[in-house]
Structure 1
């Protein structure tokens, strides 16, 4: 086991595990302040080389977004923002020695980086969440989750291959051959359904004349609750349901999946829905390894239980935030919801927290969740949402162009947190120019 010694070991050592939206924003902001001024040693650890904003994964899966145009290399961001990036997957923790254990990194079966140990003074865990298949028979073997860029790209390859196979085969398209079932009608599920409706028709228009999209391509959503988007306001849910049905997306609400096979999905009512591709987008949990982090308290879905300071309940030097943390929500019977806006808010608070710890202060800020509403984007067909709190002075339902602009601004705000305002403006102009010379969907 290799102990990686940080330069300037007398500095306060901050390790952030997980380079998702929250973790990367936190590392960037701490690097540009404490790292640049040599007031602390900031290290980000992630198991992948590049970052893509997770809410974009359904667009990558559908083919409406080319990931090469939107992924960010961690090592470059670390160089620009004065923090250190280390490639690898955390698999252990020694709280007594204040050590993070990182597994060896392999590429094509060859060990590239040996097992390492990192010392810390402040550890912040932001490893996000994975899809929870609830142990349903066949779900792991016969469905694809959309937790990572690799999974999204794998689904897109399988979808493209299915379309090409149907175009080139001698016999007509068979029933179920081009059917997609999405398990779970949360934001990911409904947004993916709408994107697939669009991109499958775009791909078919590029010379796949043997495929009739309205006849041969079928998209279904299965939801255990009695409506789509069960976690969001009923009015928003109803508006999305209407739009999905206009797109001929088959919505099976109140149906609980009991088995997934290579040929389709069975539900508790005895219904069988044939499918060539199944996407599992129902439920989340924190990664399984979180349960083994040196006795830290976790809940039933592996989330680290934290106080309002975002410190874990059993160790004041270990923090957690985002989807992998169960943070109390005062005045409610539930924890802070696992949304991008809560992770962004928590990252902003943790910047102040880390600065206070580096300065030797004991009084740390406490996190209060502010719900600014929800937005659901159905591609080029519709965008709906609700604005709440300080923005709307209550609750306000929005749709159409204004909702679409609000939705798109969320991604731009994430990019601004990483690159700054002027860099993001230049990127937007560059994409507008290059779109005229590119296909509207990814064809490979």
Structure 2
């Protein structure tokens, strides 16, 4: 185990990445070890605020107001006894046990934060994942991704502007002008397709009367696998496919994209999907910085390889968790899946691991428990399955009950960050404000 900091005499714990797992972990560490002066807790993040990643498709569609859901890291740090360092990790000095941060500049090129070196005794890397376009021609230039709140908001602005242009331009709406191609029918792509349909109906209802949703809007969901939602049970996929078809979403399976263009998407079979808006929601990989990070081992997809203790394979003082970690999933082919419930479980597990590490006790082994899967189609429906509730078997759910279970996942995340009473008050405030404002973000 690493020695404590010579300056304060306390163990220095650094968490890089303020996503679902990282922010939950650093908050709980601050509330326990930080508050009692048993360790110095630091969060390193390249953004200033946090939004739960499963909500990004709602930000992209404009059906959620980001300002009512983001969490400021400085305020969270002050309230929960940890420090916040603003900057992106650009390197790692394992010999000196320091995380290297690059300088931060604003939109006008002025320095906001200089390059920094953050010392650690225990380091937890939880910087999430990025969309993997597999080097597909034109994807980087013409397809939007939804990895960050900023990217989701950028797509939303482009969407609203496309509808405003169609309303005010001379002449009719062009073929493909309001067509959206979504590449990847996993949870993000599937949920986004339903949210976009709802957004279009609301925009027309707000007075964009030259636009006909039935005539001018076309949402195409493209999946290379034989069915949508490949990792989920077939019954969920079938029910979701049926619901999307009822919304006039063009679902194309066994369709591999070979090129993304400004005016649409080329398929391997020679077909062409016209679309002036394309979202790439297929594939997951580790952030590029991990491939050359202090000689740590990475998987084929660029994730940090870790053991069941969540320690990286080449350095016992460095742990990895969440989407950026390749953690064994005993009894299954491949690692623990990159899902919010996995990050939540690993955050709780790491709190126990660090306590044992500080006490000099043997570390535990992580066991992921799959509680099921839920897919929300916005205002239309929610479907999913719950695992292990009836004699160890799964139970299919849909409708209002499924929707409540879907919302409960987010509430569990919020409770981990704020506690029960604040979450209750915030939820009531959001419910009231939602009734007094537009249901779709218009700016």
Q: Could you say whether these structures have the same fold, taking a TM-score greater than 0.5 normalized by the shorter chain as the test? A: yes
Is 1:22 paired with 2:21? yes
After superposition, the C-alpha distances for 1:372-391 in whole angstroms (9 at most, x for unaligned) are 00000000111000110257
Matches within 5 A, 1:77-96: 77-96=76-95
After superposition, the C-alpha distances for 1:211-232 in whole angstroms (9 at most, x for unaligned) are 0111101100110001000111
Matches within 5 A, 1:30-41: 30-41=29-40
Tell me what 1:401 maps to. 400
Return the alpha-carbon distance in structure 2 between the equivalents of residues 295 and 148 of structure 1: 27
How much does 1:333 deviate? 2.1
Return the alpha-carbon distance in structure 2 between the equivalents of residues 297 and 52 of structure 1: 29
Is 1:439 paired with 2:419? no
Is 1:279 paired with 2:291? no
How much does 1:96 deviate? 1.2
After superposition, the C-alpha distances for 1:27-65 in whole angstroms (9 at most, x for unaligned) are 000000000000000000000000000000000000000
Structure 1 residues 355 and 8, CA, compared in 2 at 3 Å: closer, same or farther?
farther
1:98/1:120 contact within 8 Å kept: yes
Aligned residues: 439
How much does 1:9 deviate? 3.0
Structure 1 residues 391 and 81, CA, compared in 2 at 3 Å: closer, same or farther?
farther
After superposition, the C-alpha distances for 1:219-269 in whole angstroms (9 at most, x for unaligned) are 001100010001111111000000000000001100000000101000000
Return the alpha-carbon distance in structure 1 between the equivalents of residues 227 and 186 of structure 2: 10
Is 1:387 paired with 2:409? no
Tell me what 2:147 maps to. 147
Structure 1 stretches of 5 or more lacking a match?
A: 1-5
How much does 1:356 deviate? 1.4
Q: Secondary structure at the match of 2:123?
A: strand
Tell me what 1:72 maps to. 71
Tell me what 2:289 maps to. 289
Structure 2 stretches of 5 or more lacking a match?
A: none
Tell me what 1:50 maps to. 49
Structure 1 length as normaliser, TM-score?
0.97
| Aligned CA-pair RMSD | 1.3
2:389/2:395 contact within 8 Å kept: no
Tell me what 1:205 maps to. 205
How much does 1:355 deviate? 1.1
1:370/1:389 contact within 8 Å kept: no
Return the alpha-carbon distance in structure 2 between the equivalents of residues 389 and 22 of structure 1: 23
Return the alpha-carbon distance in structure 2 between the equivalents of residues 151 and 441 of structure 1: 18
Matches within 5 A, 1:6-405: 9-108=8-107, 109-361=109-361, 363-390=362-389, 393-405=392-404
2:183/2:223 contact within 8 Å kept: yes
1:184/1:224 contact within 8 Å kept: yes
Q: Secondary structure at the match of 1:219?
A: strand
1:16/1:125 contact within 8 Å kept: yes
Structure 1 residues 180 and 420, CA, compared in 2 at 3 Å: closer, same or farther?
same
Q: Secondary structure at the match of 1:221?
A: strand
Return the alpha-carbon distance in structure 2 between the equivalents of residues 147 and 83 of structure 1: 26
After superposition, the C-alpha distances for 1:264-296 in whole angstroms (9 at most, x for unaligned) are 000000000000100000000010010111110
How much does 1:8 deviate? 5.3
After superposition, the C-alpha distances for 1:411-435 in whole angstroms (9 at most, x for unaligned) are 1110000000010000111112222
Return the alpha-carbon distance in structure 1 between the equivalents of residues 268 and 385 of structure 2: 33
Structure 2 length as normaliser, TM-score?
0.98
